[in-house]
Amino acid sequence: MKNRAFLEINGLKLKYGDKAVLDGVTLKIEPREVLVVMGLSGGGKTTLLNLLLRLMEPTSGTIMFRGEELLSLERRELNRARTRIGMVFQNAALISSMTVAENLALPLRELSDKTPKEIDKAIDEKLELVDLKDAREKLPGELSGGMKKRVGLARALMLDPELVLFDEPSAGLDPIATERIDDLILELKEEHNVTSIVVTHEMESAFAVASRMAFLDKGKIIFDGTPDEIKGTDNKVIQKFLAPYLAHERTGELHHANS
Ligand SMILES: Nc1ncnc2c1ncn2[C@@H]1O[C@H](COP(=O)(O)OP(=O)(O)OP(=O)(O)O)[C@@H](O)[C@H]1O
Ligand SMILES: [Mg+2]
């Protein structure tokens, strides 16, 4: 087999009207990496993830996924590629007239040939993963924000994807649920060889899960490196972004040293 990257994004551009939201994004992701993408609000993170699922089309650029150019795939092949990619949407994006179980069944009904019995089993399995077995027959409107988020995560895992895109998976969750999601991201990598891209503002989570970190600013990747490298960056925007976390980390160490 050719030596090729798992996912390779090159020169990706997207404009809304005449505003360049992504202005030539280039990123390479190896299997089993957890790439954390950070950036200021409105910087284009969600847009980038949406492009990877081809929920919208870029102005230019290429996206190679497992040796295939995603952007030139026809509907059938695109759907096949999409079975390998799970997305946890920032706003959960559940269908409000359907129960949790029906929401979770949807990707399997549309993109797999699993029997109703197999689908039922997969629903239980994924709900168990996110600690929500009791929510099976509930409607999204009956769930809290954090519960919806976890259902969105369960849905992203329904097809046992190789690549999972997490858009703010722990925003609005309590610290315990947040830690549970962090653990799940690592578990997916360790036990199922899943590769992840995680967009997050929660620095503690970011450093807990990341094998690599990238910073998106004004449509460009201005940093791409290891968690240790980003802590030492001399870029002012990133320093400011990380400052509260790093200060907290230092205080933690001080407490530790004094105790
Ligand atoms: N459908 C759309 N039409 C026009 N502009 C859009 C659309 N979606 C997003 N934008 C603009 O694109 C820019 C990037 O938005 P995006 O949602 O990708 O940012 P983000 O980095 O995910 O921000 P956040 O951290 O707040 O989630 C913003 O300026 C936003 O206003
Ligand atoms: Mg966003």
51 pLDDT higher than 70: yes
Identify the DSSP state of 122: H
Asked if residue 66 and residue 103 are part of one domain, the reply reads no
Asked if residue 209 and residue 89 are part of one domain, the reply reads no
Answer whether residue 178 is part of any domain: no
More confident residue, 112 or 49: 49
Asked if residue 188 and residue 73 are part of one domain, the reply reads yes
Other Cβ atoms less than 10 A from the Cβ of 239: the count is 14
What's the 42 CA to ligand 2 centre distance in angstroms? 7
Owning domain of residue 57: 1-78+164-171+183-259
Give the residue from 126, 160, 194 where a domain finishes: 160
Q: What pLDDT is attached to residue 92?
A: 84
Answer whether residue 212 is part of any domain: yes
The total number of structural domains in the chain stands at 2
Q: Provide the whole-model pTM.
A: 0.92
Q: What pLDDT is attached to residue 254?
A: 67
Asked if residue 194 and residue 73 are part of one domain, the reply reads yes
Ligand 1 atom at shortest distance from the alpha carbon of 90: 27
What's the 47 CA to ligand 2 centre distance in angstroms? 7
257 pLDDT higher than 70: no
What is the mean predicted confidence (pLDDT) over 38-55? 95
Answer whether residue 177 is part of any domain: no
Nearest ligand, measured from the Cα of 55: 1
Q: Is the CB of 44 under 6 A from ligand 1?
A: yes
Asked if residue 49 and residue 99 are part of one domain, the reply reads no
Nearest ligand, measured from the Cα of 21: 1
Q: Is the CB of 219 under 6 A from ligand 1?
A: no
Residue with CA at minimum distance from ligand 1 atom 18: 44
CATH number of the domain that residue 48 is part of: 3.40.50.300
Token pair 């895992």 is found at 157
Asked if residue 58 and residue 31 are part of one domain, the reply reads yes
Long-range contacts: 23-29, Cβ < 8 Å, 24+? 23/218, 23/219, 23/220, 24/61, 24/219, 24/220, 25/61, 25/216, 25/219, 25/220, 25/221, 26/221, 27/214, 27/221, 27/224, 29/5, 29/195, 29/197
Which pLDDT tens digit goes with each residue over 172-231? 888 988 998 999 999 999 999 999 999 999 999 999 999 999 999 999 999 999 999 999
Identify the DSSP state of 68: E
Asked if residue 249 and residue 121 are part of one domain, the reply reads no
Q: Is the CB of 41 under 6 A from ligand 1?
A: yes
Asked if residue 67 and residue 34 are part of one domain, the reply reads yes
What's the 257 CA to ligand 2 centre distance in angstroms? 38
Per the structure block, which two tokens stand in for 20? 């360049």
Answer whether residue 176 is part of any domain: no
Asked if residue 219 and residue 198 are part of one domain, the reply reads yes
Answer whether residue 215 is part of any domain: yes
What's the 170 CA to ligand 1 centre distance in angstroms? 19
